[in-house]
Structure 1
Amino acid sequence: MNKTLKILLWIFGSIAVLFTLLIILNNYLEKKIKSTIQKDLDSSYIQYSEIDVDVINRNASVSDLKFKRGKFNVTAKEIELAAFNYSDYFLNNKITIGEIVLNAPTIILEPSDSLPKNRKKADQKFKENITIKKFRVSNGIMKIKDSSSVQGSLYIGIKNLDLNGIMVNSKTLEGVLPFKYDSYSLKSDSIFYGLDADHDLSVGKLGIANSDVIMSDIKIFPKFSKSDFDKRQKVEKDRMNLEIKKVNIQNFGWNFEKDTLELASPKIKIDAAIWEIYRNKLIPDPTTIKPLYSKLLREMGVKLKFDSVVINNSHITYEERVKEDRASAIFKFGQINATISNLTNVGMDRKDFPETKLSAKAKFMEEANISMDLVFKVSDLNDNFHVSGNLYNLSGSDMNGILKPEMNILAEGQIQSVYYNFYGNDNAAEGATQLKYEDFKIEVLRKDGQKKNKILSGLVNLVVNNNAKNKNLTQSDLKIQRVKTKSFWNYFWLCIRAGALKSFI
């Protein structure tokens, strides 16, 4: 046998031996990893139909995954594990995975019962350190239920969810969220939430990237027509229809502090909101006390730290039914541009706790310019506030959409300007108004709301102060008692009305 042939035989023999060893090693590792996965899955309340392991490419997959513990339920068509680190696992007893992909899952969570009562005790037995460089959910559905009814339930269509730098160990399992992560991103093509017995909420699209949140096509919509809604109510309640074109939440952050959810953002921008509110005043008044905004925020179960909230080009229509035989009174605010600063209830015990400020401008009844500034401090237990602003160029004809349904009267003339300035708290307010109007006349209608009551109209106009042409009528030392079963906006209206009545008469 010549030398060349010996060398070739030695080479091919070595390759054959190595190949055989590789097959043996591959089969050993495949069985070892497969048995380990099976053991971990079986001890984790997980069911499956098949496990595939590719040792050479360091990949594994589990088909038809089912997981149920308490009321946390997950099903998925497939879960894929890629770039499994063998050396970490066999030499250091650490699980390091490059990527996990959960395909087409349905995730159902009922928070009230989702965690076992002995969770902390059980988690102390968890010895593994798991690192997942990237975790992805693709084409999934998440349902978070508070009860068996649709009300209070949240449905999220998950197009893509990416979590990066996940770490799981015995310490992380003690937290509200059982793992830590470096960053995340989310794309959702539908969100639905049962807001209450009469309203639902939906979001057309949701995207989260680099901690910025963008939502579009946001809607709060009623489940019933106005007449059916009224039949369902035992006391007055607002029927709402809200549409928001876009919301942008910059650098959004969230955390749990002592099991309390904290939400934070330096800036929230709301574009093109259209809010329609309907209330039937023929239904009995509610007897519950309505807190002012400062108390509402102070006692909220969620902690907020929103440095700035900006509202652009929005509209509010408030419809109030006051008489069975009359049309509803309609209040319109258009072209609303507003900024809220320091919307927060975090750190209320500190001395430098900031004031919350609202500054808004709008068109009232499609013609008059109106502005408002509201200042209060959430940490103030007395609920003190300061509200001021002005209104320009409101004609009598524009007010008639309110005056006729509310009071069965019509107005002529022009309110040229109104200035107001009030300081108040939860009990009472004091302040002043300055009003300027021209040729203001009142026409009292008969009961049918069509014809003029000449006698009453004449008597009313005798007491209307039309000698005030081109003069500013200032009313100081106005005192108003708050009706605590009504909202801040009713309180605000009582302040304005007190100054207007004293100026007109």
Structure 2
Amino acid sequence: MNKKYKKIGVIIAIVLTVILITTFVVNIVIENKITTAIEKLPKSVKIKYESVDANIWTGNLEMIAPKVMVIGETTQKTILDATLNTIEINEISYWNFLMNDKISVETLIVNQLVAKYKHNPVVKNDDYKSGFLENINQIINIEKININNADILITNYNTDSTILSIPKLNFELKDIKINPEASITKNKFNYSDFNLAAKNLQWATNEYDKLYADSVHVTNDKLSLKHFKLKTKYNTTEYSKILKTERDHFNVQVKEVIFSNMDFGFNTAEEFYFKSKEVLFNSPETEIYRDKLVADDTTYKPLYGKMLRDLNFKLGVDTLKIADGKISYLEKVKSDKPAGRLDFLDMNATISNLGNTFGNDETRIKVNTMFMDNSPVEVNWNFKVADTTDQFVFKADLGVFNALHMDQFTQPNLNVDLNGELEQTYFTISGNPSTSHIDLKMKYDDFEVSILKKDGEEKNKFLSTIANLFVSKDSQDDKKEFRYGQAESVERDVTKSVFNYVWLNIKAGLLSAMTGDGEQDN
């Protein structure tokens, strides 16, 4: 019996020894294969780490304290510097890895990533996309990727100024499938769902403006931004000094932005698309300032229909809503005078069919707001994005309005002082990118125009008298309830904005109603 037990003991010992040696050898083989793979990376990519620990029995792999550096191939300067606490791979299929050269993983966990990337604006985005896919030679299947407590910083390669900063990022991506052998981009990279949460986001959208958000939450079908801001980086004085041609100065703050029922990706034609059933801007406050003393921007300004039609991706937003908004527009025309100001308060708006994917369906814009804090305004604006002639209809209904409220804009900008009350004004503008027609009717009382002297303070009595000779002070003249105005072939200044086009029509309609016979044109 003793001999029998001894034999069994020897056999068990041998088996255990073989298992231990095999485990040790296989673990070494795996670790060496990973080391070899790292060594085969391009010379521009350098990876250092304290250790790689593999366990064939648990299917786990852990890389301790990895550090990644990427060197620019042309400049030979560091463009990516990333350090991590650990990279953990759980339940990896070593058989597929060793025998089939495929990577199958249950979970990939990246802990405490701190990455600084220097973006070279000369390199096209397509180069980054193709480079990422070309560097992957194996089929990869991962059930879940987690990035925990990451700090991401992207700066400009030349100036080191911040482009994107996300100091607190957590990210989860599920059911990842990468197939470098697929013929189209859509099939090369797939996933089922993701969840991204970040705080204190900063993004330089261009050389002048920055976007901020206290928190960001994105899933496969929803995006939420809390305390969203878009601001020009300079104050108005500094901004005017660096501008070569005039450009708006922005200060936009939104309590919350929500994209619902999103869908995005690449279609079969390799075009990027973005869709959403509803986008909500909750309580936006916007101040836009323009310094007209800066040289004019004389480039062609397309209408919104053409701008949407010419987007380099497919956009489809069923409904965009603005709730409880406020917009202020300030325009500085004279260096010795404050900027004139127009305010739109209590704004609620709905835009339907926003994008370039709705065929012959109209894009419809409806706005309800209070103008200059005392007059209700309703706007209805329709056009078809697919219509290459860019025909549009713009209708507005302005309620009771005291002209004195326009003084803060007309006095500094136009040297004109208006007095009187508009009881009701309706107008319809129909046109195209070149010319338009306006029909206007208005009811007003005791309206008077005062032309100011150059100092903008004193009234020029002579010019004011001449001006008012042509203005019918009361729409009730000859017992008419409304005075009517029309203007044909109002020419657009194509170097100015859409809203300048609207103003040119309103001005023509007002002149017709107040200085003409006031009769309705049949």
TM-score normalized by structure 2? 0.86
Residue matched to 1:32: 29
Secondary structure at the aligned position of 1:486 is classed as coil
Q: In terms of mean alpha carbon deviation, does 444-453 or 58-67 score higher?
A: 444-453
1:94 positional shift: 3.4
Q: Offset of 1:187 from its aligned partner? A: 0.9
> CA shift at 1:173, angstroms?
8.7
Secondary structure of 2:213's counterpart equals: strand
Which residue number corresponds to residue 112 of structure 1? 124
CA distance in 2, matches of 1:115, 1:443: 62
Aligned position for 2:385: 378
Give 1:456 shift. Answer: 3.7
Aligned pair 1:441/2:448, yes or no? yes
Matched position secondary structure for 2:399: strand
Q: 2:350 is aligned with what amino acid?
A: T
- Is the alpha carbon distance of 1:153 and 1:95 closer, same or farther for their aligned partners in structure 2, counting shifts above 3 Å? same
**SS of corresponding position for 1:498:** helix
2:199 partner amino acid: D
For 1:158-173, list aligned pairs within 5 A: 159-172=169-182
Partner residue of 2:425 out of 396, 399, 418: 418
The alpha-carbon deviation at position 339 of structure 1 amounts to 0.9
Partner of 1:355: 362
**What is the aligned counterpart of 2:17 among 17, 20, 28?**
20
> Any stretches of 5+ residues in structure 1 without a counterpart?
none
Alpha-carbon displacement from aligned partner over 1:336-389 (angstroms, at most 9, x marks no partner): 111111112237xxxx43221111111100110011111111122211111112
Matched with 1:81 is 89
2: distance between equivalents of 1:103 and 1:414? 66
Answer whether contact 1:76 1:102 (CA < 8 A) is retained.
no
Equivalent position of 2:473 in the other structure = 466
1:83 deviates by 1.2
Question: Is residue 274 from structure 1 mapped to residue 276 from structure 2 by the alignment?
Answer: no
Contact (CA 8 Å) 1:48, 1:62: kept in 2 or not?
no
Change (3 A) 1:323 1:296: same
Cα deviation, residue 80, structure 1: 1.1
Distance of 1:113 and 1:99 partners within structure 2: 29
Q: 1:172 to 1:150 in 2, by over 3 A?
A: farther
Distance 1:455 1:116, change over 3 A: closer
Q: Is the 8 A contact 2:148 2:170 kept in 1?
A: yes
Q: Does structure 1 conserve the Cα–Cα contact (< 8 Å) formed by 2:444 and 2:474? A: no
Match of 1:388 in 2: 395
Distance in 1 of aligned mates of 2:187 and 2:511: 58
Q: Classify 1:70/1:380 alpha carbon distance in 2 versus 1 (closer, same or farther; 3 Å).
A: farther
Distance 1:65 1:259, change over 3 A: farther
Corresponding residue of 1:450: 457
Letter of the 2:47 counterpart:
Q
Indicate the RMSD between aligned Cα atoms, in angstroms: 3.0
Aligned partners of 1:397 and 1:411 also within 8 Å: yes
**Residue 428 of structure 1: aligned partner:** 435
The percent of aligned pairs where both chains have the same amino acid is 26
Return the alpha-carbon distance in structure 1 between the equivalents of residues 463 and 294 of structure 2: 30
SS in 2 for 1:208: strand
Alignment of 1:90-489 (within 5 A): 93-105=101-113, 106=115, 108=117, 110=120, 112=124, 115=127, 126=137, 128-143=138-153, 148-149=158-159, 153-157=163-167, 159-172=169-182, 175=185, 179-257=189-267, 260-346=271-357, 352-469=359-476, 471-489=481-499
Tell me the distance in 2 between the aligned counterparts of 1:363 and 1:369.
4
Q: Using the alignment, how far apart are the partners of 1:134 and 1:119 within structure 2?
A: 23
> CA separation in 1, counterparts of 2:12 and 2:226?
61
Partner Cα separation in structure 1 for residue 90 and residue 415 of structure 2: 75
Contact 2:184–2:270, Cα closer than 8 Å, also in 1: no
Offset at 1:134?
Answer: 0.7
Q: 1:284 to 1:170 in 2, by over 3 A?
A: closer
CA separation of 1:117 and 1:475: change in aligned 2, threshold 3 A: closer
SS at match of 1:288: coil
1:146, CA displacement in angstroms?
7.0
The one-letter code sitting in structure 1 at the alignment partner of 2:402 is S
User: How much has 1:190 moved relative to structure 2?
Assistant: 2.9
- Distance, in Å, in 2 between the alignment partners of 1:164 and 1:453 is 73
Which whole-Å CA distance do the structure 2 matches of 1:490 and 1:118 have between them?
43
Match for residue 67 of structure 2? 65
From the superposition, tell whether residues 96 and 292 of structure 1 become closer, same or farther in structure 2 (CA, over 3 Å).
same
Consecutive unaligned residues of structure 2, counting only runs of 5 or more, are 74-78, 516-522
* C-alpha distance in structure 1 between counterparts of 2:68 and 2:132, whole Å: 24
Q: Quick one: which amino acid aligns to residue 30 of structure 1?
A: N
CA shift, 1:486, in A, is 0.4
Q: Secondary structure at the match of 2:58?
A: coil
Question: Residue 486 and residue 144 in structure 1: after superposition, are their counterparts in 2 closer, same or farther (change >3 A)?
Answer: same
CA–CA separation in structure 1 for the residues paired with 2:161 and 2:383: 34
Equivalents in 2 of 1:254, 1:210: separation in Å? Answer: 9
- After TM superposition, the structure 1 stretch with the greater mean CA deviation from structure 2, 453-462 or 185-194, is 453-462
Cα shift at 1:261 = 2.9
Q: 1:284 to 1:69 in 2, by over 3 A?
A: closer
How much has 1:503 moved relative to structure 2?
Answer: 1.8
Q: In 2 relative to 1, CA 319–122 (structure 1 residues): closer, same or farther, beyond 3 Å? A: closer
Q: Measured at CA, do residues 235 and 46 of structure 1 come closer, stay the same or move farther in structure 2, by a change above 3 Å?
A: closer
Residues 273-314 of structure 1: CA distance to partner in whole angstroms, max 9, x if unpaired? 111111122233222111111111122223211111111111
- Give the SS at the match of 1:466: coil
User: How far apart are 1:458 and its partner, in Å?
Assistant: 3.7
1:47 and 2:47 matched: yes
Check 1:273–1:151 CA distance in 2 against 1; reply closer, same or farther (3 A cut).
Answer: farther
C-alpha contact 1:70 1:116 (8 A) present in aligned 2: no
Contact 1:65–1:79 (CA<8 Å) still a contact in 2?
A: no
Conserved? CA contact 2:202–2:211, under 8 Å: yes
